[in-house]
Chains A and B, each alone.
Chain A
């Protein structure tokens, strides 16, 4: 696509470079002076309303209350005005040759520089009040996600427009190839939107039913319990009275006791079955509502996922934005070979950085999706590495000791302070002791199964004991590499390798120092080959 850039019609609108050079004089400028008016109009009502409220509330407090309040109000307004003015005075921006710079701060000065190559988009935003004054706020988005961007509030409409055009031109000049390629891609998309969508994965009602069985949840039971608690004045009995239930189920009263122990057991079984049925039905209902007619397609724009019965969502994620993938499963569904696949993407979709593209699938169904995403399963013959034994021993001890301490604290507190009817707290203490043993054993098993490996293009991590999963990251799409070591790691000789990943976190704990350094060296070598601006195109 890059060859098309010379003949791209978009390029014709670009003014000649002399004009661009003229406007990038690099003079530090302040935002429009009318900003001040806008901020006043926005702030004053917010300040006056509470003041009036306070004045009204204190009007009976004596003859001085109202004048004093008024005086304080005026002082406050003056102070706000003064500091707003200082803030405006001390904020300058500069449109330089290769970056935009913003300097702010009255006492602490902060200077931010955003290179044009990193600016993904320039957005203009007009609020109601700024609009009355003919002002606009200009935001330079870097695609980093989050608040670390430059926002200029407020500029005149013309200046805002001019800046947007200028930045676009400068950026196009900086990487015109990619920009026109994107334009080309946009035109292609319009043509072939629906045409060649290839179905990658779908779930019918039967699959959803099986999925729902595994989504067994007692959330509905908890909800009913909570509702019962709220509405218990409507019930003819106190549902939190344990004796009532014992009377009902185990037969402290007349009827069941007369029928003997078999009936008591039957009562208990019936109660448990009811719970199970509620759990299964609610799991199935939830799954049907969320994943009804689940379809994952490969479109020219990227992955397209549609799902939902009541709220139908339609999400498109460009393939190049996929940063890593996560294959997961559950302790039970793993025994039946069911897996789920999530894509970790550049934080573009608000709230949720990873997308479920296959919530309930067999391994064979995941393979084509993984291939399209560019994250193949680990090939045979990779050199897999375990964590150090010392890391597992330390973790096992650490977990066990924390649970034992917690259990001991509960036991001591129960013994000393708590009245007898809370004797079930002993059970909690015992459960904590069991947890201590479990977490210790878990670490030893994890030492056997948790491992990582690198292939020429990817980084693999296998994790989990009862529900083993994989995490696959693209070596080129990592952002930074940190070798971290706490006090325990220093004593027992292991470090944690933290990898920066857009929209996720990839950590390899418990590596020997030399191995971590070798890994970092290899990963950095593949990272520096490609600049970020090519990753997001």
Chain B
């Protein structure tokens, strides 16, 4: 896979505008817990399939377990490393994605409303997801996960203050 290439390339393209900030260090941990929650049912499914079919031992469950292990161990940190955001005076830039890379900018002047969401796992790690809604049909929600809760609240205040100022 191309993840290493992707990573260095992203870092390279960041230089020309403004430097990207990374999310809270707890974010990869939260992503790992989520990955485990996705992986467990798949593993159980593989074990059941193993039990039901006449193949030799671990022909199905072995590879599945290996792939899931790689996904759980490697992927969260790589995904975390590719992600980033930049909050400037009048816009928010969100960069994400290893295979399918996406680099979105939304000006505060187009934000309709702002959500700060926290799932159970995020709450455990003290994280929150900031979501900006625009009126656009494509990309109407710009979602920025993995922020410290307080940071997300502060960013919401910043953006809200900008909206208030701009529409006066």
Contacts and interface: CB of A to CB of B under 8 A. Distances in A.
A411 interface: no
Contacts of A490: 2, 5-6, 101
B101 A505 contact: no
B119 A144 contact: no
A115 B102 contact: no
B137 A501 contact: yes
Contacts of A113: 113-116, 156, 160
Interface size class of A (residues with CB under 8 A): 35 or more
Contacts of A145: 135
Nearest to A115: B163
Contacts of B106: 479-481, 500
B118 A117 contact: no
Contacts of B160: 98-99, 113, 115
Interface stretch (A247-255, A384-392, A447-455, A527-535): A527-535
A484 B119 contact: no
A531 B135 contact: no
Question: What does DSSP make chain A's interface, helix, strand, loop or mixed?
Answer: mixed
A503 interface: yes
B105 interface: yes
B106 to A, nearest CB: 4
A487 B100 CA distance: 6
B136 A479 contact: yes
A144 B114 contact: no
Given A118-B112, A481-B104, A483-B103, A109 B118 contact: yes
B137 A114 contact: no
B118 A524 contact: no
Contacts of B4: none
Interface in B115-158: 115-120, 123, 133-142, 156
B166 interface: yes
Contacts of A98: 160-161, 164
Given A486-B100, A500-B134, A108 B107 contact: no
A487 B2 CA distance: 9
Interface string A499-537: 111111111000001000100100010011011111000
B102 A117 contact: no
Contacts of B107: 480, 524, 527-528
A150 B123 CA distance: 23
A500 B133 contact: no
B91 interface: yes
B101 A144 contact: no
A174 interface: yes
A502 B110 CA distance: 11
Given A110-B118, A481-B105, 12 more contacts: A113-B160, A144-B112, A347-B137, A480-B107, A482-B139, A485-B100, A500-B106, A500-B135, A531-B167, A532-B111, A532-B135, A532-B167
Nearest 4 Cβ contacts at the A-B interface: A500-B136, A479-B136, A117-B167, A531-B166
Interface of B: 2, 5-6, 13, 16, 90-91, 99-107, 109-120, 123, 133-142, 156, 160-161, 163-164, 166-168
